[in-house]
Every structure is written in C-alpha cells, then in structure tokens.
Structure 1
Amino acid sequence: MAFGGYDEFAGWAPSAEEFEKFAGLRLTHSSLRKLGTKGMGGRWKLGRLQNCLGMSVQRLDCSFLLASEAVVLHQDVRRLVLMVRFRACSQTLEVRTGLLGIYHLEDSTSTSLVSACEQILWGFVEEDADKYEKLRQKVILLNMDAAADEQLAGRLMKMSEGLYPNAKAVTRDRCHAARRILQRPFKAVPEIWQTFSDLVWGSASMPNTIQSSDVLRKVFNQHICATESTVQGARIKSLSLRKQRFDSHQKATGRLCLWMHATVMTAIYAATFRKNDRDGERALQFLRGISEEKMVLLAMLADFSDEATSAIRVMDSEDSDTASHVMELDVFCSRVKHLFIDQNASNSGYTKFVIDQLQKRIAFTVDGQPKALGGPSRVTPHMIARCFQSMKTLVALCTEVIAAEYPTFELLSSLHIFDVSEVARKNRHESADNISSVHTAADRLCKIFDASLEDFLSQYWDIKPIACHHNSSMSCSSFQSWKFALDKISARKSTRLQHPSKDLRWILIHFGALDGATTSGVEQHFSRMTRIIPEERLLLSEENQNLELKFMFDFGNRSRSECIALAQKVWLEWYGAPRDFSQTIRLDTGKKRVMKEGSENLFIAKRRRCADETVQYLTCEQVRTAASVHVPDDCEKVNKELHFQSNKQYKNQIQSYLWGHLTAAEVPEGLVDVAEQFSAAQDKQHIDRVKDASKKQALMAPVPPRFHRANQWIFLEDAEWSQKREFQGCKLTDDLLLPLFYVVSDPSKPPQSVLWAATVRGGCVLDLECMLNIIADRPYNRNKGTAYLYDAAYSIKRQIFVCPRFATSKPEVSQILSLCMQQASSKWKSIESWEDFAEKTARTKSKWQVLALTVPPVVAALGLDNAMSSKDFINFVRKVHCCSRNACGL
C-alpha cells in the first residue's frame, strides 16, 4: 500500500499538502486571522494545524536532545517572561539550536526563576518523568544575564541536588560583558563622562533633542545636504541614538563628529525658532558648552567606541565563533593601545576628521555674545595631549574590565585553542608562550570533561593542520573546520587507525554545544515574539504560546517532511478524525448567538437594557442646567476650568459669527463689536507672526553689509594684508573711529580696542576670507568666512560716567569712549563726577539711562546695578549678530 501511494492518514487527519500549504502561508503572515481568506478553514482549524506543527517540531527536538551528548541552555527575562533556548551537539558533531520554552513569571526572584525553568523543561518533555530525568542530566552549562537573581538561580540549579546536577558552570553572557567595556569606564573618567553626557548621552543633548523632533530631524538633514564634506549623508535624518542599549551611542557620537557643522546649525535653528521652549533651551546649552577640546575628545571617544563595537558585534550572535573571542579582545586591546597609548588616533578616523574640520571656523552668537568653534591654531598640541591623557586612563580601565569579564581561567576562554581563524593563524605563532597557553587550556578542558590530556594533545596537534587548511579555503567557523577535519579522517578505516581522535572528538562535542555562548539569540527571539504574539494576544495559554513560537522559530530549520508526518500523528492523537462536513445551510445562519449565562457580554447587555428602561432622556442643555447647581463655589480648580470652558465657548460663538454661521436670533447684544475686535486682533497676530518669522529667518540666513569702495573705510589687524591685490583702491585706516569693517584674525575674539570701537559705534568684525569675498562680490562665496555685525550702542540715549580709576587702568578704552561720545551721531553724554552720577541716577525714571564705568573693587563697594566693570558694561550695551557663519552654506 505504501508503494501504491496509500496515505495512512487519509480521511482522518489533514493531508500533508494541507499542512505544507498552511506552513508556507503562516510563516509569511503576522497572524492566523489573516489566513482566513486563503481557503485554509476557520480560526479553530488553523490554530489546530499550527499547534500540531509546533508539537511535531518540539518532539523532534526533544528526541535530538535526548540522543545528544551535551546541552547548553541560554536564558533571559524580559517583562517577566522567561525564555530558554538550547544548543546541543551529538556524537557525530551535529549541532542543533532551538526554543526550549517560555514561561510567564510572577516576579523575578531566584525562586521563581528556578520554578519556571522546571516548568519549561517539564513541558518540553510533555510531562514524561523518564525523559525529564535524562534531559536534565545532559545540561553542561547555563548562560544568562549578570543580574543577581538570575545568577543565584543558576547556581541553585547547578547544585548536585539541583535541576541540572551535571552543569559545569554558570556563566555571564559574553555579549553583555563586552558592552560593559564601554559603559563602566566611560562613567569612571570625569572628563570623558562630562563631555560625553553634555554632547551625546544627557537628556538635554542635541542627539536626544534632534531625535525627538520631526522638525529638527528635517532641519538636520537639510544642513547635512548643504555641508561640503567628503562624507555624504543625504539620507541621514537623525543622530540615531537608542538609549536602551549603551553601545548604540557609537553611531550618534560618530555622526555628531562627521556632521559637526550641521549639528551646530541645527542647534542655532532651535535656539532661534524654539526660543523659550525645551528644544531652544537645550540648543542654547549645547552652544554654550561646545568647544574645540570637547569635540576632539568626543572624536577620540568615537574612535574608541567604534573599536569596542566591532568586538561586541562579533559576540552578538547565536552563531558567533566562541573560540575567536579571546583573539578579538586581543585585537581590540592592541588597536586601542596603538590609537591612544601610542597617540596615533590623530592621524586617522574620527579624530583626524574632526581636527581637520576644526581648522575651519564656524561663527554664531550665544546670549548676545559672539562665539566661534574652530579656526586656525585653535586646536593646540597641549589640547590634544590632554585628550590623549584622558583616553589613556580609559584604555587602562578597559583592560581591567576585560580581565574581570573574560578571565583566562574561564571555561569558555579555554576554547581559544580551537581558534583557526585567519586572524589567529596570522597572529598566534607557535611560540613557547602560545604552546604553554594551549597546554594550560587543554589541561583545564580535559579536567572538566574527563579526558586524557596526553592523548588529547597528541590528537590536537595531529589534526589541527587539516582544520587550519579547511578554514583558510572555506572561511567557515572554527568548529566547522574541526568537524570537517574529524569527518575527513573518520571517513575510512585506514585513516581512522592512523589518526586516532577519541579524546579530541569528546572535547569537540562539548565545544559544539558551547559555541556561540551568548543570550543574544534569546534577545533577538524576544523581538520576534513581540511581532508574533503582540500584547493583546498575551492572554493565550502558556501551552499555545509555546507551540506557536516553537513552530514560528524552528520549523524552517527542520526537515519539513518529518515535521509534517509527525504533525499528522499529533492531530490524530489530540483531535481524532474530523467531523463530517455538512453541505446544508444551518437553520440559525444570520441569527445572533445566545449569550452564555454569567458571561461578561451578558452582564454588559443587561446593564444597558436596564438603563434603557429607566432613563428619562433630556437635551444636553437641560442636563447642563440641572448640573450647574451642583458646582461648588469654593473650589479654585473647578472655577478655573469653568472659566476656561466659558471663554472657549464664547470664542467659538464669535468665530461662527465671523464665518456667517449664526442666525440673527443667535447673535447676542454686543457680539458684533467684540467680533470686530476679535477679527482685528487675529489680523494683527498674523502680521506679528509673519514679522517674527521673517526676523528669525534673517537671523538664520544673515547677510554681511554691502561694500562701497569709494566711501567705506577698512581696518586691518595685520598690516601685511594690505599688500593683497583685492585691497588696491580701498580706503584703509588705522583709526578705529572711521571704518565700517574691522578685519581681524579671529572675529569671535577680536582685540580689545576693536571690540570696544565696534560695540560703541557699530561695525562689522570679520576675518580676511570673508572681507575678500565681500570686496570681490562673489555670490557663490558670499558666506565664506566668519563675520559679526555690531549695532551702534551709542545710538541709544544714555549718560555715561567714566571713573578716573578706570581711565587710569584702561587708557585706550577710555580714549575710545571719549572720542565716540564726541561724534555727532552719538546720543551718549558724558558725566563729569560721582556727585553728578548720583544726582542723575536719582532723577531719572530708568536707572539704565545713567551708567558708571569703574573698576571691580568700586563696583563691589557701591553695590549699584548701574555701576559696572568693563566686562559687565560691554556685555550690557553690546548687541551683535552673526552675519556669516562659514557652515552649511550660511
């Protein structure tokens, strides 16, 4: 009958084709409900098909685990759901990974975790005591998070009378340990943590601010597109920070370094358009705190984080090569030592990129004061040396973390002797130290797994060249290379006798189970679980959730024919033969089903019927009138809310009148006049909003003043600049009271005399590049260079007293003030004595109309707000705008 194509399940269970069709559709759909239109049957049948397939995969895996030699369990908890995954290796070095089960916890204590693990194992073997006892004896290692409760639970399960008495160790997840290389040392170095918190990780940082605002993400992208850079970022729309994983900061840190100018311009936009808002305050804080040294240090942190992230990524997979972990950490330490201990980071990577970017000055104003980031000679060797010193401390701490998280005496670290990767072949020579390390690790492995050390080492050195050759030609994992070598020598009797491998095979069986020792697979499957079983489906029974997840996770990695054949048997075992299908239409088709007694739906229906029978229906206005008498008069919050709602109702009424929606009878007395005033106020508000937007747009896209060669004077800080051909025919002067343009090396920090002259009489303080472009009138280069435009302070009417002690201490500034006050356009008047100052202060309506300029000791002694030192005075009277930023086309 079998040769004739007889199907033993025909008529009794769904056909293999039906199971195959269902499996193909279910794996590509997010829920069973969406399969209802595919001709597969109702939701009850679909659920049964899925459960049968899930149980078939579970039984196949259970058979494999019972026949295997070593089993390793990886577990993690998320939102009080425990998930356990397994990795097992058989005598033939066949490896299988899969889901052991999930369990919903009541709490996260160690007692609950141990109990949950017992329930998962009991459910996996279908409550078979013999299988349960046999399987728990095969577990050789428990891998979990470093949380105290989980580690305690692991230790309780590892005890001789515990759940897994033959477990050799309880390990902390190696991928999480790699993340601690970044997290803990960062917080331990004050300079690094302060810079990192201010610029990247803090809640008020620009990456967080941009990430949380659609508008700022768009602005950030626009500035990136306008940035002239060797790194293209047209598709970059945010700094991509995910604070739930500390190592995610690497991308945000790197992007801030690569698009530093775009980030600064976005902060300027936020400070301008979001003033007095959360984003505006954060942007101002960012602009106040940013400096060349912070950016250089941040760039070094970006280089360091990139190196650490590379090591983390190697371990962040269920298929990672555990034997290569030690070499990867060695490579990481070597690279950070080269970059930061040997001080080579400034020659490449993010650090070099930022240092090069900082050679170009970007200008802006903060709190009414000019500021610039970068510029020639702003990044000094001493500054770079200080940054390297902080990084050296960081590297030292990281090596200590690695020593603590990855001790050489750990079981998993001993697997490095099987590393045959290209990096290991190049860097691990057969030196005395390496041979000694191999012998030590081999001794540990043989001791743990009861093998002969002498025989193992003999077989190890004999077969290793085959594994190395296979790895070099096929680029596979270390375990696969060793498996190939054993399979090759075991293929024939002659080679088996010539190359014995009993002890090596026994250790490799355990290596196969221990390979990929990380809970990253658990975390990744948690993410898949949230898509397969969303929050609204968490009320499914534990058994149904386990079967659905088992099918969705592992069916694709198993033999389909075996799974489907076993699923048909499960169907007969659980559900029996399907009932006869009726072709007639049911008599109750289209009628509502009778609600079950005591059901929630019946209770709700009764409650609604009761309300229908007893309620007297009124209009909303009637209810409003009836309810108004019950409002308390002495409750401030209630009265405030009533007042707000009343105003809102009246505004709605006005707006309806303006739109012509009210009838004549609905227009109360006085509404017409109020509506006219309301309309006028709306128009004025619109005009003011347009003006404000134009003003802010002007601040974001500033324009330096136009240059007229015939009647505008130029002051040059460096006399050699006058030899440039662009200045031929221009009116150059050393008199600070004549020019409109003051050309200096660093416009954000001009000489004191230039600062006072520009502040008092107004003018444009700019660098040489900007001045040359203005003279040449080059539209495509008009905003190259940096420039600040100062409003004339002496255009505001004031009376100024210059203290004799101040004149003695700062004669140049005193002379500039005296000459400026004598100019015809000046509205400043001089006060001759302290007595006159006191008299005028007493008579004036505003004390800020009368100012005294004196030395700090006198200011402290007087205690008057309008008696100021030179620093306070210039900050008070100065009004400056950045009119050429030298960044992102602005």
Structure 2
Amino acid sequence: MDDDDEWCLPVASAVSQPPVASAVSQPPSLPRGNSAAALESPCEKGCLTQEEFCRLKLKWEGKLFIDPSQTSLGTWLSGRTQNGRFLVFCSVCARLKDSKDGRSRSTAWATGFQPTVRSFHLTHVQRHSSTCKVHKQAVKDYLKALGLQSEGPEDESCFLNREQFHAAVQKTWDGCRKGHSFRSLADDDVGSKSRAGRLVEVMGCACLAEEQEFLRDSDVLALYQDVRAGMLCIRYSAVSLDSQLCRHGVLGICHNAGTKSLDLVEAMDKVIGSFCTLDCDSGDMDHELRQHICEHAEFLQADGASDEQLTMRFAEQDLLTNVRLLDRDPTHAARRLLRNAWRADPYLESVLDQYITSPESMTALIQYSADLKHLFEVAVLSDDNAPFSVRNLGWAAHRFDSMTRPLSRFIVLFDSIWACGIDVWNKRKGTRPGERAHSFLSESSAESLLQLAMLADGSAETLDLVRFFDRETFDSASVAETLTQFKHRLDTLFVQREVLQCPGHTTHIIALLRAKEKTAVLKHGVLKVLGGPDSIPLDLIDRCIARMCNWVKLVYARIAAEFPNHDLVNSMSVFNLGDSLEAAEQTGNYADTMKKARQESLLRLSQAFGVAVDGPNQQELFRQYMNLRRNALHLLRTGKAASNAEAWRLARSKLKDKRLSHHPTHLIDVVLCRYQCLNGFTTSGVEQSFSTFVRTLGDYRMHMQPSLQEHLLRVVLAAESCMSKGFKAICEQIWTLRFHEFRKPIKDRFRREPSASSNAKTETSWQNQRRSALRAAAASSSVRAEEDVLQDAAGVGRHFWQPGHNEEMKVLENLAKDARLEAYARNHLLQTEIGDDGEALCQDLQARQSKRKKQEDEHRRAFEKMRRLAKRPAMVVDASVYLHLGNAQHALDDMASAMTRQNFTLSEESEVLSSDYHVVARLDAAPVQARLAAALCGTALCNMMYITSSGKDGTCIANKRALSTQRRIWISEPFLLEKPAEADLLLQAISINGSNWRVVPEQTWLHHALNGGPMKFLALVSTEEKESDYKDIRNAMTFDSFLSWIGDIDAVRCAHGAANR
C-alpha cells in the first residue's frame, strides 16, 4: 500500500489552505508515485480510468464539498492507484480508518473500490454524503479536529421539517385521490415511489384511527355489503345520538371471502376484527370496539339475491345481536322496474332484442367493430340534423345500468344509423356484418321504432330514479316523494299521452319518420321504404301506448312491492321539509291528512326503534317533533341549512343549547338518529368502492399487499374534510413511530402533468331539455290517485295484456307478501294495518320461518360437510394400534418410543377389529386382514412414519364404516372352505355391537337377488361358484370384489397428499 500522505486529509495546522491534493488532483500528464504504473498497465474492461475520473471530479467538485458552508475545505471525493487498480474512496471516511472503534473499515468508501464507467454517476456518489451515517460522523470529527463547526445544520439538509412533511402528505393525498400511481407521485417533495407507498400506509392508518374513534362514540350503525370477484367489501354509516352527525366510510375488505353464505359471515367477522385492530400500536384487537359494533349495528343491506339475503340472516343469528332491519338495495330495485317488466311483454322484448340487446343487432355491430364504428362516426358528422355527435352507441352489457344510453342514441341518431347500415350492406356483401346490416334494413318498421322510442322515454325517467338512489347522499325523507313524482311522470307520459307532445325520443322519431322516406335497396333489387307522411297512423300509436300502459301498471305494482308504505325508509318521509308539501298543506283538508300520516309514520318508527309511546308519551313525541320541525323548516327556508338532514340537525342543536326543561328532545332524538343513519342507505357505495378499487389499482398494481390496498382505498374514498391539521398531526405521529425521521429525496424528479381535456356536453344538453319539458308538463297537472291511474292504464292496455304480465304480477304479489310478513315479524306494522289479519299473518310467518329454518339448516349442513372435507386430520394421540409388521425389531422400538410420547396402546390378536390404526409396511401391499378390518369398522391403514410423527408425516388411508349401512348377507359353504380366516373375521365384525349387518339364509337372499333387489342383499361365494352359478347376478361376489366394493375412502381423515387431499 502506498504512503497515506498521498491521499489523507491535511493536518490541523493547514486549515487556511485547501487539503493536500491526492494523486489524481494533478494533471494526467504528471502522474506521481504508482500512478505512472497505472497509466502504463491497462485497466480491466469497463472500469473507470484515472483520466475519466479526473474529468468527472472537476465537473462535480462544486457539488461534493466536505462542508457546503466552507468550500475552502474542498471535496471529499478522491482516487488512487493500488496494485495496478484505480480505486475511488472518500478522503473523510478514510481518515478514520485507524480510529479505535474502526467504524470505517467495513465501508467501501473508506477502503476504496473500483467502479465501472456505467455505475459511476453523480447521484450514486451524492448518496454517500447524504445518507451514510459514517460519513456524516467523519465530517463532524474532522471539523471538530480543525476547530470548526458547520454553519448549516444537518437536519435541514437531510430531513424535512414539519411544514415540509405536511406538504408531502397533502401532495400524496391529492395525487392518490386523482388516481396517480406511486411512481408518478415521486418527486422532490415526496421522494421515491416506495416512500409514497409508506405515506399512503400512514394516511390509511390515520383514517382508520379517526374512523375507529368515531364508531366508538356512535350509537347507531348501518352496514351494507357486496361481493365482487371473491372480494367482500363492507361500508358503514354511523350516527351519534348526541351530535346527530352521520359519517360514511369503508369498514374493510376481505379477499377470497368465499362463495357460501356462512363463508361470507366469517369474512364479515374478519373485516370487523381487522377494523378493530390497533395497527399503530401493538397490533392487538380492541375487543370493546368490536363488541360495540356488533351490538349497535341495527341496519343491514345487500342486493336482492337469495344468497345475499341468506348471508344477512346468518349474520343476524351468529354475529350481530341487535338488527332491526334487513333491507334490499333500493338501487337494484329501481333497476328492476325496467327489465323485469319489459320481459313480461313478448313484443317489447323482441323489439329490444332486434335493435339493442342481441349480438346480431345493429347496436352490437357498431359497438364492437372498430371499422364500423368509424363508419358510424363519419355518418353522424355528415348528418346536419343530428342534435349531437358521438363516436359509438354506448352499449356495455356488463355495466350496472347501460340500457338508457344506447336506446337514446339509437333513436336520436337513427338517420346516421340507417346511413351506416346502408354503407355496411353495400361494402360488406357476403360477410356476416353485411348480412346483419341487411337484416336491420329489412326488418326495421315504423311500429317497432316508435315502440323503441317510447321505451327510451320510459327508460330515461327510470334512470333518473336509479341515479337518485345510486349515491350515499340521498335523503331518505325524500324517497316517498321521489317515488310519487316518478309515478306521476309515467302517468303523464303514457296514460295521459303527453309522450306525443313533450319533446323527447317519441316526438323525435315521429318527426324523423314523417319528415321523409328512407329507402334502401336490398337483395334481389327489393326496395325498402321506411317512413313517410302517413307512416305513423293513429291506431299504430294506440297500440304502442297500450303496451306502455301495461308496463306502467307493472311498475306501480313493483313499487308497491319493493317500496311498501310500511317500509321504515318510506316512513322517514315524516322528516321531509320539501316546499311542495308545505305549499300543499295550505289548501283543502290536506293539513289534516298530512298530520295523520305523520302521526302514523312517527308511531311506526318509534315502535320499530323501541321508543315507549304509550299514553302521554305518544303526544309528547309528536309535540317534540312539531317543535323541532318548525325550527328546521325556518332554517331550511332562510338558507341557513342546505338539506333536510342538516336542517333537522341544526334545529336540534339549537334547542339543545337552550334550557332542556323547556325543549326536551329525548324521544324524538331516538328516531332522528335513525333517520340520519338511513340517509344514503344503499349498496351503490359498495359498488362504487369496487370500481374505485379497480380504477385505482389496475392490473399492474394488483401485486400490492392487501393491507396497503385497503389503506389506499381508505385514502381514496375518505371525505375531503378529513384532510385537516389534526389529520396531518396524526400522520406525523404514526410516521415517527414507524419510520423515524422523514428524509429529503436524493435526486430531482420530473413528472409531466396530464393535459386537461374539455368534454362536450351536447348530449347532456339535449337530455336536459327533454327532462325540463317533461317536468313542466308534469307540474301543470296534479298528482292523481293511484287507483285512478291503474284503472285508466288497465283500460287502455287490456287488449295487449299477455300471460307474462300475469306471471310478473304473481311474482310481485309474493314479494309484497314477504315484505309484509318481514315487517310484521319485526314489529314494523301498526295495529290498524294488521286489523283482522293477525292470525293469518301469524300462521304465514310460522310457515315462512319453518321454511327458512329448513333452508338454513341445509346450508349449514352443506357448509359443515365442505369444511369437514377441507379440515386437516387431528394429531394422532390416545389411539389403539395394531401392527401388521411381523417381528421387525426396529418397528417395535419406534413404536415403544411413540407410545411413551403419545399414549398409544398396542392391540392384541383378538382386538384387531377395535383398533384405530392398522400399521403396515406398504399400503399398496397391505395384508387382507388389515384391509378387511379397516373397511368394515371404518378405521385407517397407515405406515410407521405416520404413527411416530403424530400424523405430521407419512401416509394414512382412512375408510368409512361399512357396518353402519344396513346389509343382509349370505355366506356360502364353498366360500367358508375357500377363505376360512376371512369368513371368520367377517362373522366377528357382523356380531359386534353397532353393526347393521345381518346374516340371512340362502333362500332369503336368492329371492331378492332374482327379483332385482337392491344391493342391500349380498352373497359371498367362492370363485368357482361365481363363474358357474352366479355369473350374471351382481349381488353375488367373490372375496376380492366384495373387499373392493365395501372399501369407501374417507378423504377427511386421510393424510394430506393421499386420497386426493
């Protein structure tokens, strides 16, 4: 090794001058010492040369100072040649190589290393000075030896202060909620993508901590869940009785939740347990919080599928102790207003299939072909009369509700679709697309198009109802009014025939068809003419409207079944402060009617929620309600509250601030708290969470750990108000506990911001015009009684009523009956609604409960069987063992050791049938005695390794007990002579207690065998008898066939790896 003076730092007396230059600080043409030899000997291929190092050092010197505040000390980057190799090292770290603690000896920068040209970059070199603790300590020691002190504190250069950390949290929060990846978040403020992931983890834990604290103080919870692709997601809404504040959030997700209802209940338990786990502390579960959630979850909701409803019933029985309502999702129910009722009419279904839903339809042809989609786009742009331009028809069968958009676009842009169909037919003759376009051109008719336009108008109105429910912010007090207005608009459109006057799809297609004739030349020169001034006669319009009136009738019936008056959510209309109701109260006897309806709703809610309303308390409840209502109405009308829920909450807070003796609210508080909790009570939030989950992660990020996925989902779905100073303080605390200081990034990062794109809203404008015209037409007439609407609709559509309509009405009647029984079982029906039907309801309820009990028991048995099949066999202890090993001394020694550890007992010759395990040398060559005893008595064959390892290793084949099945057997005399030992063992087994086998005489067996009796009657015969006398009788068996037939393997008790386990 060369002299240290060539590369070590100067002594303390040379402070005023820069450090003594190393060998490489001289020009390359003037090498010193061993450097000359290095120049003459070639370096290894790809390694950094001295000339290249000198060039880079001069270039980087201003960025690699020992102390940036004292540039006169120079750079710490040095190099030297040793043994023919050029080494790079840190002169500051190398100074400590002879220190007593020897801290620098293990670092490559202290002893020197030979870098490659490719790896020697400024960012890599800077990492040593910015992250290496040994280097920082060496700089401190060196400055101390010189009597100097760094003017810039280290924390400012390496770590972020509180404001910078909060800015990084805010930036990561905003980026995640916009869908940015961790890689795109990496910049100078946040750092690397790994650090962005850690920030997301910290923010997710902070969100979880806030949610845990809120649920701990809440008094009422509502849970709604759904499963997609094996993933269970549960959301919640929680309200505190004191504050009346409602919060929605994600309770958790569970991957691989299973498909059985009991699997989902266990997954629910796991989600609740995971939510109650204190991640930030010891990782222990907060059992008090878990019990609090299980006791205060009063409302459960899932979609209407039978397995989902069964899951909720099991959850009520096994997990949640105070459930008051099991509800079906209203958004799915609103969607069923369309398709279920349309399927009841064959003509409506055929029209939809012809134009929209069929794979052979023109809609599918345009949607799923890139070339034809371009033709359609060109046709739309070429049509001067098109109200708006689109690139496709928007058909996606997998979406939650995608019927309205293709229906609307097909009608509004029909001229463009017709022109596109002609182009496809002319350019693709002889191909499948050409034939499909020809079918569209030839089968199109004015009646089917007019019917499709009316379906589009009805679908658009139903979509507005779906969108009302499809958000977690809908007001449950407005549900009844929204349904009433929806039915009134359908009445206005079809029963009162305003669909022919209101601007919409129907008027648009009538104008298109009457404006001009549309022609097309089909096969064999046939001319197709569609439309014309007289193409839509009055009788055609009457037929189409009659079919829609039948649909309206089914819609009314389904609303009555899915949203009955006794439903708790419908009863929340008592808290509706809408201006329309208040204005209606001033006319006629409406005030008395509304007062009675409110009293009934309040009585139902108080009865369902356990409020004592007997006698004076009933009047007190209504008095508290009216007192609170006047204040809430004033707040809403003056603009101090933005919604019903906020008005009621502020009014209650206002009264709470006054003397409670003058304004008690203890009775109405119980009902009001449930009202706040049921706002936004829909699984649509769960569906949107799934969509957000997929959109946020994507396929390329599915490898992310499930815990980090859940943290990311919490951040993305959290309310914007969560980001506060308190939240950032919690994040800072969690980061300090987990990752210590927050360092600055090492290198600069650049990211191009995505360009903003403007979306045209011409289609939305057209829909808004249609919607506004219909609202104005509906507002010009009063809401008619439901009986009058149904009577008029039945009169118009009676000639087009189909058997499918009757079947749908029966389904809806059963659904309404089930809903009434459920309300009766949960004490949601008033006595006036029960009337004289109490006894009948009680009997129906008992019958339904008995049916459900049978269904639930069958499901539990199937689940237990499945679980038992997948269960690992228990440890082999306290068992009796029979050895079929002869006189193998080593086996006896192993068995003696196992008997001491596991409390085995060895069976004697007479106990072969009562032994639990038959130990054999090889299972494929087991003795006949062992196989017969195991098959008859349901015991196991195993090897010695399985016994000595307590079932952890080795092989074990267990059998089901053949003696448990009833059998009648005859044993022939020749068989007794041919197989005396086996026959004796069989007779012993038949005679033991618990055997269901009996020996019968030959005549009894022969009578059943010749008459084709079941396999309950068996015979054991010799081989000669089987070949001569009983060849065609399957009940007669030889010993080998008998042994194979009764051997039924029990996969549950077999060792893993055996019997397909």
Q: Which amino acid in 2 is paired with 1:221?
A: E
Q: Is the 8 A contact 1:459 1:501 kept in 2?
A: yes
Distance apart, 1:518 and its partner CA: 0.9
Cα deviations by residue, 1:530-587 (Å, 9 ceiling, x for unpaired): 1322233333333222222222322633142222222233234445x4599999xxxx
Aligned to 1:491: 657
Q: Is the 8 A contact 1:250 1:306 kept in 2?
A: yes
**Mapped pair 1:460 → 2:625:** yes
Distance apart, 1:104 and its partner CA: 0.5
- State how 1:563-712 maps to structure 2 within 5 Å: 563-575=727-739, 577=740
Aligned to 2:373: 217
Partner Cα distance (1:270, 1:395) in 2 = 38
Change over 3 Å in CA distance of 1:372–1:46 after alignment to 2: same
Aligned to 2:82: none
Cα deviations by residue, 1:336-374 (Å, 9 ceiling, x for unpaired): 112212223212222122212211211112223111111
Change over 3 Å in CA distance of 1:547–1:377 after alignment to 2: same
Q: Which amino acid in 2 is paired with 1:438?
A: R
Distance apart, 1:219 and its partner CA: 2.7
State the SS of the aligned residue for 1:195: helix
Cα deviations by residue, 1:824-883 (Å, 9 ceiling, x for unpaired): xxxxxxxxxxxxxxxxxxxxxxxxxxxxxxxxxxxxxxxxxxxxxxxxxxxxxxxxxxxx
Cα deviations by residue, 1:744-778 (Å, 9 ceiling, x for unpaired): xxxxxxxxxxxxxxxxxxxxxxxxxxxxxxxxxxx
- State how 1:125-524 maps to structure 2 within 5 Å: 125-126=276-277, 127-159=285-317, 162-229=318-385, 232-233=387-388, 235-245=389-399, 247-348=401-502, 349-359=504-514, 360-367=516-523, 368-426=525-583, 430-451=590-611, 452=613, 453-474=618-639, 476-493=642-659, 496-524=660-688
Partner Cα distance (2:507, 2:304) in 1 = 37
Partner Cα distance (2:273, 2:487) in 1 = 44
Q: Is the 8 A contact 2:257 2:267 kept in 1?
A: no
Q: Is the 8 A contact 2:224 2:236 kept in 1?
A: yes
Change over 3 Å in CA distance of 1:176–1:262 after alignment to 2: same
Normalising to structure 2: TM-score of the pair?
Answer: 0.51
Partner Cα distance (1:289, 1:19) in 2 = 65
Distance apart, 1:464 and its partner CA: 2.0
Partner Cα distance (2:583, 2:379) in 1 = 45
Partner Cα distance (2:583, 2:467) in 1 = 21
Change over 3 Å in CA distance of 1:555–1:199 after alignment to 2: closer
Partner Cα distance (1:297, 1:124) in 2 = 52
Partner Cα distance (2:520, 2:356) in 1 = 21
Partner Cα distance (1:49, 1:259) in 2 = 49
Aligned to 2:262: 111
Change over 3 Å in CA distance of 1:397–1:357 after alignment to 2: same
Q: Is the 8 A contact 1:421 1:477 kept in 2?
A: no
Cα deviations by residue, 1:459-499 (Å, 9 ceiling, x for unpaired): 22233233234334438332112112222333333xx5444
Aligned to 1:558: 722
Aligned to 1:847: none
Partner Cα distance (1:38, 1:555) in 2 = 27
CA RMSD after TM alignment: 2.7
Aligned to 2:86: none
Partner Cα distance (2:287, 2:159) in 1 = 30
Partner Cα distance (1:149, 1:279) in 2 = 41
Point out where structure 1 has 5 or more consecutive residues left out of the alignment: 1-9, 584-890
**Mapped pair 1:95 → 2:246:** yes
Distance apart, 1:305 and its partner CA: 0.9
Higher Cα Rg: structure 1 or 2? 2
Partner Cα distance (1:21, 1:264) in 2 = 56
Q: Which has the higher contact order (CA 8 A, sep 6+)?
A: 1
Q: Is the 8 A contact 1:182 1:247 kept in 2?
A: no
Change over 3 Å in CA distance of 1:472–1:310 after alignment to 2: farther
Partner Cα distance (2:171, 2:745) in 1 = 28
Cα deviations by residue, 1:765-792 (Å, 9 ceiling, x for unpaired): xxxxxxxxxxxxxxxxxxxxxxxxxxxx
Q: Which amino acid in 1 is paired with 2:405?
A: K
Change over 3 Å in CA distance of 1:200–1:473 after alignment to 2: farther
Q: Which amino acid in 2 is paired with 1:215?
A: D
Q: Is the 8 A contact 1:158 1:169 kept in 2?
A: no
Aligned to 1:526: 690
Cα deviations by residue, 1:785-829 (Å, 9 ceiling, x for unpaired): xxxxxxxxxxxxxxxxxxxxxxxxxxxxxxxxxxxxxxxxxxxxx
Aligned to 1:50: 200
State the SS of the aligned residue for 1:371: strand
Q: Is the 8 A contact 1:257 1:354 kept in 2?
A: yes
Change over 3 Å in CA distance of 1:460–1:317 after alignment to 2: same
Distance apart, 1:171 and its partner CA: 0.9
Aligned to 2:923: none
Partner Cα distance (2:562, 2:736) in 1 = 51
Aligned to 2:713: 549
State the SS of the aligned residue for 1:416: helix
Change over 3 Å in CA distance of 1:113–1:12 after alignment to 2: farther
Partner Cα distance (1:548, 1:571) in 2 = 16
Distance apart, 1:400 and its partner CA: 1.4
Q: Which amino acid in 1 is paired with 2:204?
A: G
Q: Which amino acid in 1 is paired with 2:721?
A: N
Q: Is the 8 A contact 1:139 1:164 kept in 2?
A: yes
**Mapped pair 1:38 → 2:188:** yes
Partner Cα distance (1:543, 1:313) in 2 = 32
Cα deviations by residue, 1:286-343 (Å, 9 ceiling, x for unpaired): 1121101111111111111111111111111111112111111111111111221222
- Indicate which of 86, 91, 95 corresponds to 2:236: 86
Partner Cα distance (2:308, 2:517) in 1 = 53
Partner Cα distance (1:540, 1:254) in 2 = 41
Partner Cα distance (2:166, 2:742) in 1 = 18
State the SS of the aligned residue for 2:568: coil
Change over 3 Å in CA distance of 1:582–1:201 after alignment to 2: closer
Aligned to 1:805: none
Q: Aligned pairs, how many?
A: 569
Aligned to 1:804: none
Normalising to structure 1: TM-score of the pair?
Answer: 0.61
Q: Is the 8 A contact 2:341 2:554 kept in 1?
A: yes
Partner Cα distance (2:745, 2:489) in 1 = 74
Q: Which amino acid in 1 is paired with 2:629?
A: K
Distance apart, 1:35 and its partner CA: 3.0
Change over 3 Å in CA distance of 1:543–1:432 after alignment to 2: same
Change over 3 Å in CA distance of 1:187–1:582 after alignment to 2: closer
Q: Is the 8 A contact 1:358 1:375 kept in 2?
A: yes
Q: Which amino acid in 2 is paired with 1:565?
A: A
Change over 3 Å in CA distance of 1:427–1:382 after alignment to 2: farther
Q: Is the 8 A contact 1:26 1:35 kept in 2?
A: no
Change over 3 Å in CA distance of 1:543–1:177 after alignment to 2: same
Cα deviations by residue, 1:52-93 (Å, 9 ceiling, x for unpaired): 221111011111111011111121111111111111112211
| Deviating more after overlay: 420-429 vs 252-261 | 420-429
Aligned to 1:763: none
